[in-house]
Structure formats: C-alpha cells, structure tokens
Structure 1
C-alpha cells in the first residue's frame, strides 16, 4: 500500500536564507555531518551490513561523527541532542531580541535563523528514515511526555497551530482566514495519512495471520508471504517522510502568513511548549517511587 501523496501548499516557495555568517557556518557544519551519514550508509550497504547494531571498522572521528559507527540511530540521537542545544541557544537569542524591541529587519534575522534550524532536523530525520524508520516512529529519541503526542515520527502540525493561535493576536482578517484554512487543510492531510497507515497496518496484520504462516509452514508459501509483508512494511518510510513534509510546510506557511513579530512569538511559543514537555518528563522520571 502506498501512502497518499500530500502537498497542501503547492504554490508556496520554501526558500530560506540564513542571515548571519555564523549561522551559515553552523548550517554548513550540519550539512557536512549529514553527508558523512550518507557516506556511512552507502559504505555499509555495499559491505552487506545489516543496520541493527554493532560497530564495523575503526573508531576514528571526523567533524564529530564516528566514522566506524553503523548504528545510524545512535548517531541520530547524538545529533538530535546537539540540535536541541543549538535550538535552545537560538530561542534565547530570539527571546532577547523580542524583549529589546529591535527593528523589524534585525528581528527577521533571528526569526529566519530559527526557521532554518527546523529545516536541519527535518533533513537529518529524512536521512535516518532511509535506514531505521522505526527508530523515528518509536519516539525513543524523545522524552516520555513528548512520546505521548507522537504522530508519524513527530508532532501533529495541526496541534501546533492550535497552540499558537491565541498567542499571536491581533491578527488581521486575511491572516485569520489564512491560519484557519491552514489548520483545516493540515488536519485533513493528517487524517488522510492516518487512515492510510491504519489500512497498511490492517493489511500487514492480515498477511502475518494468514494460513500460509501456520505451523508447520509450507516454505514456499511462507517465504512468499514474508516477502509480501516486507514490501508492505517498507512503505512506512513514505508515511514518515510525508508526515515530516507536512510539518515542514506548516512551519514555512506560518512564517509566510505572519508578520515578523508575530512569527517571533509563534516560534517562541512552540519552543516553550516542547520545553515544558521535556521538563515534565524530567519531573516524572525524578518523582518519588512507592515501594
């Protein structure tokens, strides 16, 4: 089963221009790390290595990426931690810029930097999805509270719109119409993907539970059914990619609808929401245990 192809904002450009030399260098560093991950994937595939764990080769490093590591999920977790640290720094800079009431042009630089940083994690997730999509779906790279709200390997973009809607007032009538339309189209796209995933899971379950897998199995039928199941399972990557595409488009569309100062409040609200989820997870993990 192929997931539905969704492009709810086809006419909107996705061009991002990082505004500072330092941030351009940071993005270039992230690009280099992504390229190294891709090279590691290609080398391991050529050697017939199964990406399920273990280390092949030596332990040298380059630009912070272990060259011998074939467990790409572990590398992703490391890079995601670095991404969070940089995200915190950029958010603090944006908050300070808002509080200082700097000019629109200056503020735009900080807003664009935050938007570009979201693109970095989307690109990194896209690379990991090629090899270990189930690591993304499991949410084990997120905190426990964040995992409660996981959808297609990330957050529901329609929920983010709902969270920020009352934090960016006053909105003009065209802006309000644009955001309400965005929320509706995003929700519809989410539903289409969710229904497609439900159908995939049901189809996969039917294959696994079929008579061809009864014991003792007919090996010809068994291998044929398992091959069919593998083919169905491989489409999970497409669902996660389209989920991330929807999240990516939503962020960029909000950036286009809102003024610079509204967009700044938007990104600060989103950052604060996920920060509170992570803080809640820390409190939960540190709670007293009853004997």
Structure 2
C-alpha cells in the first residue's frame, strides 16, 4: 500500500500499472490468436498453388488486420503513458533487444523477404529496391530525431527519466515535470511516425508481391516472431532457475 508521502504519485502509479496490465493481457491474447494464424498460414502454404487467389487474399487480409489491431491497442496505451511502450514489461529481455523505437525495425521485413521469397520478377525486384532505399532513408531520419530527443534532455538523462517516471517524490515531480511532458510528447510523435513506417512498409511489400508470395512472406514473418518469443521465454526461464 502507498504511504501518505506518496499520495501525489500513487494515482499515477495505479494508472500506469492498469495500462501495463491491460496491454499485457491484450498481447497475451493477441499472441494466442497469432499462433492460430501461423497454423493456418503453414497449412495454406503447403497447398498454395492449389488455392484460389481469392482464398489466399482473404487469409492475407485477416493476418494484416490482426497486426493492425496490435498497433491500434499499442497507440492507446502510448497515449496513456508513452514511457510504458518504450520499456515494455510484456516482452522478455530477449524480445526487447530487437526493438527499434518501441517496435521492429522496418528493414527487418526485407531481410525476412530475402530469406523466404526468391522468385521475384524483374519488375518486383525494381519496385522492392526503391522501397528498400526509401525505407532506409526514413529510418535514418528517425534515428537522427531520436538522438536529438535524447540530447535535448541533458538533466536527467532520457533513460533515467524513463525509469523514474511515476516513482519519484513530489518535489522531484515538480522539478522534472516540464522535461517529462516535453520528452513524452516528442517520443509519442516519433513512435506514431515509426509505427506508420512499419505498417506502410509491410503494406507496400504486400502490394508488390502476388498472393502466393505473400502467404510465404507472412508465414516467415509470423514464424520469426514466434521463434523470438519462444527463445525469450526459454532464456527467462533458465535465468529464474
């Protein structure tokens, strides 16, 4: 129970905990549904050339909508507390090592594509090459912006503010409030742009590929995410022994 001296921060702690718990529950359910999608993708992938394009496109649309739901919920929790999204307790330390601006790096989609789809036409290759270059430019711009945000918070540093959010005394809150608000606003704006780049990149990849290639690509993406999740849980379990 919070003591009387923490009355000023108890409400924020409760709000932060509620937001974290709510999104953690959503992620757990979302991962279960994603596992079902992986089973369906693996099954369809084995018989892709026997399937109608309409059936493949229906599956592709459902998988993409599943990811869209994740970003919608993530946006809601970011609006409640952006710092939670940048220090996500719902992921294992191993999973967090893959994060770039609180999510996967858009260029990762191209690495998965190169490892899974090797029958691009010349037109597809040219369009994908342009998309890769444009995505890299956007990533560099956001890296620079994140660096400027970090440099702008000289005292206390960004990571210190993130860790102390909601867990400091009233005097410290007053002193740091302006920096925290400015930092949070900047991070929220950057996250929105990064998430838009992530979703736009995948959408454009899907637009370039044909239905059979898309099933192969989305199967590889989903399988990779599950592999990272499983490895993270295994490593966390080994450390707790």
Q: TM-score range by the shorter chain?
A: 0.7 to 0.9
Partner of 1:253: 204
By relative contact order (CA 8 Å, sep 6+), the higher-ranking structure is 2
Deviations 1:104-147, CA, capped at 9 Å, x for gaps? 21111111110111111011111111011111111322222211
What CA distance in whole angstroms lies between the structure 1 residues aligned with 2:227 and 2:208? 26
Structure with the bigger percentage of helix: 2
Is the contact made by 1:158 and 1:183 (CA closer than 8 Å) also made in structure 2?
yes
Is the contact made by 2:109 and 2:202 (CA closer than 8 Å) also made in structure 1?
no
What CA distance in whole angstroms lies between the structure 2 residues aligned with 1:223 and 1:95? 51
Deviations 1:58-106, CA, capped at 9 Å, x for gaps? xxxxxxxxxxx97112101101111111111122112212213322211
* TM-score, normalised by the number of residues in structure 1: 0.68
What CA distance in whole angstroms lies between the structure 2 residues aligned with 1:71 and 1:227? 21
What CA distance in whole angstroms lies between the structure 2 residues aligned with 1:129 and 1:50? 18
* TM-score, normalised by the number of residues in structure 2: 0.81
Q: Aligned pair 1:150/2:99, yes or no? A: yes
Aligned mate of 1:85, from 28, 32, 38: 32
Is the contact made by 2:38 and 2:222 (CA closer than 8 Å) also made in structure 1?
yes
**Count of residue pairs brought into register by the alignment:** 216
What CA distance in whole angstroms lies between the structure 2 residues aligned with 1:244 and 1:151? 10
What CA distance in whole angstroms lies between the structure 2 residues aligned with 1:178 and 1:114? 23
Partner of 1:141: 90
> RMSD across aligned C-alpha pairs, in angstroms?
2.6
Deviations 1:141-180, CA, capped at 9 Å, x for gaps? 2222211111111110102212222311200111111222
What CA distance in whole angstroms lies between the structure 1 residues aligned with 2:211 and 2:106? 20
Structure 1 gaps, min length 5: 1-48, 55-68, 210-221
